A = this chain, B = another copy of it.
Amino acid sequence: MMRQTKERKLAARVAEIAGVSLMTVSRVFSGAASVRDETRQRVMNAAAELGYKPNVAARALRTGRSDTVGFVISSPWGLGGDFHSATFSAFESELSARGLSVFLSISSPDGRLADRVRQQILAHRCGVLVVRFDEIRPNELRELQMLGTPVVLANYLPETPEENLGLSTVGFNNGEGIVMAVRHLVALGHKRIGHLGGTPGWVDTIGRERGFRNAIAEASLPLEADWVRSCDFARAYDTGMEEMNSIFSQSIVLPTAVVCDSDEIAAGAMAAAKRWNRSLPRDFSVVGFDDTPWGAMLTPPLTSIGHSGLDLGRALGKLVLRLFNNPDAAPEIIAIRTKLVVRESTGPAPADS
């Protein structure tokens, strides 16, 4: 003997209690369809009473959509630190407020990104996909474009025609941040400025290096090759210190200031400067990038270029919502501003310069 009017077919029981057909229940839960307000109320009450919630699987199967967005990260560091966490938190918050769920998928960069993404889309019928990667892989990106699902690149801002990949992107104007930092140093009288860049080829690095060159040219300062170094984000503190040491030990003429691609690199540079008996900021100025909370706790507190993960996440969320509702919209490129936070690691250029 099977259970009778009990337990089976929750939705049908909701319909029965509300005195309507199953179809009306569906209409009520699928949003703003044409249902009389009073009918809607009856259905809602019955549903609340029975604890009914629509089955997303059935809905996804029927409609081919899934109120789901994928967030794919291709990075050996996984989610990343404070900055990327903030980005994701803001993003998720923006989307969940509109009833969308977020799948988070992390892949090491050696795996094939496009495969991973395709898997996510095909498997979960994501309406939009967000992808964040450390390093540009043109081939994989070209594949993404042919997927039919809107793809948004997070934390990437093409600044030249070649860098524009025809995908929607949201990212920081990193170059502008570096330009502000250099202008700040120039205003303080610095004429010999170095740059400790991040991992070569990484998206965070490319625009910053270009920004540095532009800013140096703008100020008609010499671009001394020996003062422009690449560090490794994965060993930022150590490589920052090493490169700074190397500059101090090898260069004939020494810079009076250095702009770094991360606060950690900057911390390494500060340590190296101290080892060479430079007192900061009297003898030497350092600028970081990220404006991490702990940068302010260093001795001296670090001047840094800040970029808000929350801003990035919010903009990303809004763009994704737009694309979710209109998948055929043209790709958008959204730039988010950085801002210079001046603390005590930068000061007037030494008098003898």
A interface residues with partner B (beta carbon < 8 Å): 53-58, 60-61, 66, 77-82, 84-86, 88-90, 92-93, 96, 101-107, 119-120, 122-125, 237, 264, 267, 271, 292-294, 296-299
Contact = CB atoms under 8 A, between A and B. Distances in A.
Nearest to A271: B297
Given A123-B56, A237-B293, A292-B294, A85 B80 contact: yes
16 contacts: A53-B122, A57-B57, A57-B58, A57-B61, A78-B89, A78-B93, A79-B88, A80-B85, A81-B81, A93-B106, A101-B123, A101-B124, A102-B103, A271-B297, A294-B297, A299-B299
Nearest to A58: B61
A124 B55 CA distance: 7
Among A124, A296, A299, chain B packs the most CB atoms within 10 A around the CB of: A124
A104 B104 contact: yes
Given A101-B123, A106-B92, A297 B57 contact: no
Contacts of A297: 237, 264, 267, 271, 294, 298
Contacts of A296: 237
A182 to B, nearest CB: 24
Please give the count of copies of this chain that the complex contains.
2
Nearest to A64: B57
A88 B96 contact: no
B119 A92 contact: no
Contacts of A103: 101-104
A226 to B, nearest CB: 26
A78 B86 contact: yes
A78 B92 contact: yes
Given A55-B61, A85-B85, 7 more contacts: A57-B61, A79-B79, A79-B85, A79-B86, A92-B104, A101-B103, A294-B294
Contact of A105 (B56, B79, B101, B271): B101
A105 B104 CA distance: 10
A61 B54 CA distance: 12
Contacts of A96: 105-107
Contacts of A60: 57
User: When A and B form their complex, which 6 residue pairs have the shortest distance between CB atoms, in order from nearest?
Assistant: A78-B89, A57-B60, A294-B294, A53-B122, A79-B85, A57-B61
A123 B53 contact: yes
Nearest to A85: B79
A81 B78 CA distance: 13
